[in-house]
Structure 1
Amino acid sequence: MPNIPPPFTAPYAPDDAEIAARLLPASHLSPPQEARIDRTATRLIEAIRKRDDRLGQSLGGVEDMLREFALSTKEGLALMVLAEALLRVPDARTADRFIEDKLGEGDFIHHETRSTAFLVNASAWALGLSARVIQPGETPDGTIGRLVKRLGAPAVRTATRQAMRLMGNHFVLGETIEQALERGRPRSGQSRYSFDMLGEGARTAADAARYFDAYASAIETIGKAAGSHPLPDRPGISVKLSALHPRFEAISHARVMRELVPQLLDLAQRAKAHDLNFTVDAEEADRLELSLDVIAATLADSSLSGWDGFGLAIQAYQKRASAVIDHVDALARAHDRKLMVRLVKGAYWDTEIKRAQERGLDGYPVFTRKAMTDLNYVACAAKLLALRPRIFPQFATHNALTVAIVLELAGDIGCFEFQRLHGMGEALYEQLAKDHPDIAYRTYAPVGSHRDLLAYLVRRLLENGANSSFVAQAADERVPVPALLQRPADAIVRPQAATHPKIPLPADLFAPERRNSRGVEFGARAALDQLLTDVKAETADLKPIADATPDQANAAVTAARAGFAAWSRTPAGTRAAALEQAAHLLESRGAHFIALLQAEGGKTLDDSLSELREAVDFCRYYAAQGRRLFGGETAMPGPTGESNALALRGRGVFVAISPWNFPLAIFLGQVTAALMAGNSVVAKPAEQTPRIAREAVVLLHEAGIPASALHLVTGDGSIGAVLTAHRNIAGVVFTGSTEVARAINRTLAAKDGPIVPLIAETGGINAMIADATALPEQVADDVVTSAFRSAGQRCSALRLLFVQEDVADRMIEMIAGAARELKIGDPSDVATHVGPVIDMEAKQRLDAHIARMTAEAKLHFAGTAPEGCFVAPHIFELKDAGQLTEEVFGPILHVVRYRAENLERVLTAIERTGYGLTLGIHSRIDDTVEAIIDRVQVGNIYVNRNMIGAVVGVQPFGGNGLSGTGPKAGGPHYLSRFATEQTVTINTAAAGGNAALLAGDE
């Protein structure tokens, strides 16, 4: 039996300085070696910069495009967005608006004839001609002006689409594998290809099956045309695991291993039959461990014995790259195989940074400085070269310095290759082939339709076109060659400089005001296992809690009134410190509250962790805001001899009535805001979730909130009515239904005595608008998340989706297919996506609505749910938005098609609901987005992303109209609503004169 290594594990986000301390000393080579590297790199850079101007016949590559349309310019950014979306827009009206929107953002007219590269010149001419139609300008003889008036919109559309296709033709080897093979026929100096079948990750089972068939067909086609060369001279194919499974994610580990491993093995066996290079492409950091598990299980199959073509890509910008190499080598040893390893620097760097910040991780899984990535790449290259011939290294780079360093490290052994992306690096590799004819390189060639290639093209342009990238700098002759020869180690110098000074750690994202709440990366096996262990060890006390009587409710208000004076006089700094201590206790007891949220609230692990973090954020945010607002007086202007000061003070007793859908976060958000403002509080949680509230109150008391200032009263709506009717309350903060908010408002208005504030956040018929420029995969992701996460039981959840009819069929099909892949069941199971609704009463209401919609609307999808309080996701298409007359608080999505010219009717329909909580917009047309934002009165608008999960202090949450009163929870204006304002004016000259004025110098 082979000695199989254990599953891969390594610290997810280790300290950069520790890695730099290890890499820096080993990076220095001997002076003769460094001199040879400089000579080689300089020669390659000069080749890149040498332009072929003969007869203007240079086709041009990415370097030429970036020289002409730098991504730091408006034209470059507009071109990027056009390339990403235009060819997938089917209707003329939307295409015309999109083109006008983007070409109007820059000066494309003056790019028409500046380049000698055919690709750039032709693209620039088409874009410039289009821009003249959009922004007509006369030439001295008036010919262009007259021409463009005759051309009109159809010609603009044709010219711009052709410019995009021209770019696509250069960066994609072929729209089909047959076309790619024809274009990639062996020619002198270069015969190796690796074909990448373009496309986004699968969202549906049908997508995954389609991608599998495409890979299988491509393998057969490539194999038949491969000739008789042995490996590694034979062509290859790259496969993306996320394209082969619709839920390629860490929490679906068991399912992925069960379903995906046989498929990957099938494809590998087909590749082996033709002795091809078969590379598993790299994924995002949170999928690394899962990817390696799938690869290890596939490699273990004895049917692959004797084949040296299996490979994988490793990203050097990931801090775990070196550990991955060790793991892959261990797998090769265990199975007595030779493996190919493609070393890349890495894509999606910005996405990795954002994800780590959003999840509140301890650090980043990728390096924040490009020089550290380059340093790690060289270190990984050295390790791979040392593992030859068991490991066959494939170095993917367009960096002349990196190529020169690898050549120096490789010596004369051979047994490795370089790789470049089709359409990039031609000049560099042509020179390399001349100087080192014995060195092999492979072209990594995208294959796919123009519509599918565009998002890919934009990502490549972003990677290679950023101002800090070698490709962009090498194309800029203003950058001196010696600057391009700077070694990564010389840019870092010392370990303490390994991190980017302007990219704070996720924990410090909101510093110095407050600390970000700490999260857990589910893609890190050790972290997830520890969390699951900790949660399982907790016991949730679900013993019944007796409802308060009306007398007890009234007594709580009286007691809170008695405690108000002392608490309101407590310094703001002391109150804030208590809230910060509460945040600390919440994080330290996170597993306990997660167990409670799952047991009493029916929340999944992901939802429970998110809610815990939100509660922590509320405590810290209101503490920071409170120190600023209540920490002293604000001096006001006035005449000499007089002082004027404004101060905020607590109002008195606040009643806080919170919902069951966020029984910890909203409960604590309301209570801590009222307390920070100097009020005493009587808190009444939802009748379904009193135990979570009880634990939260105990924690706040432990953190330093006096029992006299915070009182808990449990019960149903009748107890809430008793509290809001009490004559001694000074305000009510409420989150729940619009009907209950109206009832509270009437109760408060009917009372004699002071007029007290009602701070209400209710629900909404929340809508999303998706036009034809939107990326279907992104829409599907965001719709499924917004409509079905938390079983649709969020105030912000998507209820009504408007889809442009030109793309509606494809988008609805993808959304329904993605919903079909969701797992519904026990919320304590980490693999569950959709848990139960709160109780049987809620289920019965939702079931009744489903029955009504089944009769009145077109059913696109109906999931299946287990017995109990479960409601499966449903998708209905309505004839008219008016069919949805009230908020449906569950996993039910309603879809309406609209014509592009009828967008105004869509906005009118949204307005007619009377709600104004959340709105989603998916569009690449800035003018459309701006027009919608300007038109609708909605509290939170989310563009090209999901529309749930508002972050405290980042996306203050709340609506208007039927959706609430404002101000927004988690925002800078919230605390002031809990306070009264007091101005104190003192006549400082009352004693007979203003001495300060009289004594002042002229």
Structure 2
Amino acid sequence: MSATAADSTATTAAPPAGDFASLSPRTGEELARYPVHDGEHVRSAVRAAAEAAQWWGGLGFDERRRRLAAWKKVLVAQLDRVARVVADETGKPMDDARLEVVLAIDHLDWASANAKKVLGKRSVSPGLLMANQAATVAYRPLGVVGVIGPWNYPVFTPMGSIAYALAAGNTVVFKPSELTPGVGHEIARTLAEAVPEVGRYPLFTVVTGLGPTGAELCRAPGIGKIAFTGSAATGRRVMAACAENLVPVLMECGGKDPLIVDADADLDAAADAAVWGGMSNAGQTCVGVERVYVVESVAGRFLEKVRTAASRLQVGTAAQEGDLGPMTMPSQTEIVRRHVTDALEKGGRAIVGGADSVPAQGGAISPVVIADVPEDSVAVTEETFGPLVVVNRVPDVDEAVRRANATGYGLGATVFSARRGERIAEQLRCGMVSINGVISFAGIPSLPFGGVGESGFGRIHGADGLREFTRAQSVARQRFPIPLVVTSFRRTARTMQALTGIVKARHGR
């Protein structure tokens, strides 16, 4: 669930004072100050992490699992403390912050419990021609993984890389968003409480700063991989920096995720999913619902249910939490305003809210639902990353699928259909689909999470997420010699005739 449209991970210039403030989105007050780490500090952190990786990788799966299980217990015991920091730095309601930490704990548990089964050495068939060989494959850690995290889900999203990288035997250097540095330090603090050896072996190091700090992490000698979450535009700059040293990258980028409502859908559930998927976390969810395509025959009833549900939502204030918090990044407000204005100017109908829902400068945005928006509106073509949902009618599901696929994005999608959910899902160009639910895939640790196209590449979560932070190592061991020696200058013409005869007999039928 990535911070995308307005992330500033690699774009903001460093302040002259050498540190920066973490501010409350609710009140604007300063929460704490953090250093802007320069290149030498980042390189030193990577060097220390590389030394620690020798110890951590050498422990083996069982010992790593024991220590990660201890970390899980600390996170459970201190769930509210960690969630409080999340809520303070992002502005999201406390229960939303708790949910984020709960999901991160579940993923940590799955990664540590399944790493040995997924990554441990296993035998594979050598085939007929190489029957005298014993063949095995194992997945070895990369060493040091650099993680550049987002601000919208500052625990859950980076833990999809951090937990899986640690379980695979790597150490991690984490650069949190400059909007949520305190969350990064909370993650580090809880791990240090759980694993006493962290004082000697820095398994997890936090470096703070703005864009240049992230760039230094990409270029640091010794980095085995960078896992980035943010916009496609910033992702391209991260990839360019990593290319200097041929550092592989995992890209979690943005989305413009559709929700398709079939004629036989449960409209109450679909409307609830559209409102939650589009408005929770103030719409700042890369796999949130931004576009809805509803079959014409049920569109009127569906829109009325959406209107009712969205109109009930309360926006929080500095003094009291609501269903929605403020925008974490104030500059994102201008993007939301531009999208709302364009949708209305091009003929869209405001069902809930409108241009007046978006404040002039930062703060909280009231829910906005606009129907019948032309497909060339930026509210349909660009990621909004705010509490705006566009609902468009379509004649049938085939047209809904065509429109859903008609963007460069391909992250997640949602389908509501009583009979055709699986068939519709198979036609969607995206990495994940929820059927008769919303964002369900993100909460299932065994399912890989990631996108295609402008939404990035690579996967976190699941077995694919564990393998993402390893290198496959194949080993072939000769068990006994065979008379047909072909990989030697001692081979004869008769040997090659016998070999080709075997191949023709086996594969030429």
Q: TM-score range by the shorter chain?
A: 0.7 to 0.9
Return the letter of the residue paired with 2:435: V
The answer (yes or no) to whether the contact 1:827–1:834 under 8 Å persists in 2 is: no
The answer (yes or no) to whether the contact 2:38–2:216 under 8 Å persists in 1 is: no
Return the letter of the residue paired with 1:924: A
Instruction: Say whether residues 1:559 and 2:55 are aligned partners.
Output: no
Taking the aligned partners of 1:671 and 1:946, their CA distance within structure 2 comes to 25
Q: State the match for 1:885 in structure 2.
A: 381
Q: State the match for 1:944 in structure 2.
A: 436
Given the two structures, how large is their TM-score scaled by the length of structure 1? 0.42
Q: State the match for 2:4 in structure 1.
A: none
Structure 1 residue 642: Cα displacement: 5.0
Structure 1 residue 829: Cα displacement: 4.6
Return the letter of the residue paired with 1:915: Y
Structure 1 residue 761: Cα displacement: 1.6
The answer (yes or no) to whether the contact 1:799–1:894 under 8 Å persists in 2 is: yes
The answer (yes or no) to whether the contact 1:824–1:865 under 8 Å persists in 2 is: no
The answer (yes or no) to whether the contact 2:432–2:441 under 8 Å persists in 1 is: no
Counterparts in 2 of 1:912 and 1:640: CA distance versus 1, 3 Å? closer
Counterparts in 2 of 1:716 and 1:879: CA distance versus 1, 3 Å? same
SS at match of 1:972: helix
Paired residues for 1:504-653 under 5 Å: 542-630=31-119, 632-638=120-126, 643-653=134-144
Q: State the match for 1:982 in structure 2.
A: 473
Could you list the runs of 5+ residues in structure 1 that have no partner in the other structure? 1-539, 991-1002
Paired residues for 1:77-88 under 5 Å: none
Q: In the TM superposition, what whole-angstrom CA distance separates every residue of 1:402-456 from its partner, at most 9, and x where no partner exists? A: xxxxxxxxxxxxxxxxxxxxxxxxxxxxxxxxxxxxxxxxxxxxxxxxxxxxxxx
Paired residues for 1:766-845 under 5 Å: 766-826=257-317, 829=320, 832-845=322-335
Counterparts in 2 of 1:934 and 1:722: CA distance versus 1, 3 Å? same
Q: In the TM superposition, what whole-angstrom CA distance separates every residue of 1:183-240 from its partner, at most 9, and x where no partner exists? A: xxxxxxxxxxxxxxxxxxxxxxxxxxxxxxxxxxxxxxxxxxxxxxxxxxxxxxxxxx
Paired residues for 1:386-535 under 5 Å: none
Structure 1 residue 941: Cα displacement: 1.2
Q: State the match for 1:859 in structure 2.
A: 350
Q: State the match for 2:182 in structure 1.
A: 691
Structure 1 residue 702: Cα displacement: 2.3
Give the root-mean-square deviation of aligned CA atoms.
Answer: 2.5
Return the letter of the residue paired with 1:737: S
Instruction: Say whether residues 1:923 and 2:417 are aligned partners.
Output: yes
Equivalent of 1:712, from 191, 200, 206? 206
Counterparts in 2 of 1:543 and 1:930: CA distance versus 1, 3 Å? closer
Q: State the match for 2:487 in structure 1.
A: none
The answer (yes or no) to whether the contact 1:786–1:948 under 8 Å persists in 2 is: no
Percent of matched pairs sharing the same residue: 28
SS at match of 1:543: strand
Q: State the match for 1:655 in structure 2.
A: 146
Structure 1 residue 925: Cα displacement: 3.2
- Larger proportion of strand: 2
Taking the aligned partners of 1:644 and 1:776, their CA distance within structure 2 comes to 54
Higher CA-based Rg: 1
Pick 1 or 2: higher relative contact order, CA cutoff 8 A, min separation 6: 2
Taking the aligned partners of 1:661 and 1:599, their CA distance within structure 2 comes to 12
Paired residues for 1:351-366 under 5 Å: none
Counterparts in 2 of 1:852 and 1:541: CA distance versus 1, 3 Å? closer
Return the letter of the residue paired with 1:853: A
Counterparts in 2 of 1:620 and 1:784: CA distance versus 1, 3 Å? same
Q: State the match for 2:337 in structure 1.
A: 847
Return the letter of the residue paired with 1:596: V
Instruction: Say whether residues 1:665 and 2:153 are aligned partners.
Output: no
Q: In the TM superposition, what whole-angstrom CA distance separates every residue of 1:667-688 from its partner, at most 9, and x where no partner exists? A: 2221121122122211111110
Taking the aligned partners of 2:292 and 2:39, their CA distance within structure 1 comes to 44
Paired residues for 1:871-882 under 5 Å: 871-882=365-376
Equivalent of 1:965, from 457, 479, 485? 457
Taking the aligned partners of 1:600 and 1:620, their CA distance within structure 2 comes to 26
Taking the aligned partners of 1:761 and 1:941, their CA distance within structure 2 comes to 16
Taking the aligned partners of 1:947 and 1:669, their CA distance within structure 2 comes to 15
Q: State the match for 1:723 in structure 2.
A: 217
SS at match of 1:682: strand
Return the letter of the residue paired with 2:418: R
Structure 1 residue 659: Cα displacement: 0.6
Structure 1 residue 783: Cα displacement: 0.9
Return the letter of the residue paired with 2:169: G
Return the letter of the residue paired with 2:429: Q
Q: In the TM superposition, what whole-angstrom CA distance separates every residue of 1:1-20 from its partner, at most 9, and x where no partner exists? A: xxxxxxxxxxxxxxxxxxxx
The answer (yes or no) to whether the contact 2:49–2:171 under 8 Å persists in 1 is: yes
Taking the aligned partners of 1:882 and 1:904, their CA distance within structure 2 comes to 19
The answer (yes or no) to whether the contact 2:164–2:461 under 8 Å persists in 1 is: no
Taking the aligned partners of 2:264 and 2:294, their CA distance within structure 1 comes to 11
Given the two structures, how large is their TM-score scaled by the length of structure 2? 0.81
The answer (yes or no) to whether the contact 2:294–2:400 under 8 Å persists in 1 is: no
Q: State the match for 2:492 in structure 1.
A: none
Paired residues for 1:161-560 under 5 Å: 542-560=31-49
The answer (yes or no) to whether the contact 1:780–1:815 under 8 Å persists in 2 is: yes
Structure 1 residue 641: Cα displacement: 6.6
SS at match of 1:635: strand
Return the letter of the residue paired with 2:264: T
The answer (yes or no) to whether the contact 1:641–1:988 under 8 Å persists in 2 is: yes
Q: In the TM superposition, what whole-angstrom CA distance separates every residue of 1:599-645 from its partner, at most 9, and x where no partner exists? A: 11212132112111111112111101213234x42133446775433
Counterparts in 2 of 1:798 and 1:805: CA distance versus 1, 3 Å? same
Taking the aligned partners of 2:473 and 2:89, their CA distance within structure 1 comes to 43
Q: State the match for 2:12 in structure 1.
A: none
Return the letter of the residue paired with 1:691: G
SS at match of 1:663: coil
Counterparts in 2 of 1:647 and 1:931: CA distance versus 1, 3 Å? closer
Q: State the match for 1:910 in structure 2.
A: 404
Counterparts in 2 of 1:865 and 1:641: CA distance versus 1, 3 Å? closer
Structure 1 residue 777: Cα displacement: 1.8
SS at match of 1:859: strand
Could you list the runs of 5+ residues in structure 2 that have no partner in the other structure? 1-28, 482-509
Q: State the match for 2:10 in structure 1.
A: none
The answer (yes or no) to whether the contact 1:668–1:696 under 8 Å persists in 2 is: no
Q: State the match for 2:500 in structure 1.
A: none
Structure 1 residue 771: Cα displacement: 2.5
Structure 1 residue 800: Cα displacement: 0.4
The answer (yes or no) to whether the contact 1:825–1:865 under 8 Å persists in 2 is: no
* Residues 783-792 or 736-745, more deviating: 736-745
The answer (yes or no) to whether the contact 1:763–1:963 under 8 Å persists in 2 is: yes
Taking the aligned partners of 1:887 and 1:881, their CA distance within structure 2 comes to 13
Return the letter of the residue paired with 2:293: F
Q: In the TM superposition, what whole-angstrom CA distance separates every residue of 1:824-882 from its partner, at most 9, and x where no partner exists? A: 1048856x211111031122332333233332332221175899620111112244323
Taking the aligned partners of 2:122 and 2:441, their CA distance within structure 1 comes to 34
Taking the aligned partners of 1:824 and 1:986, their CA distance within structure 2 comes to 65
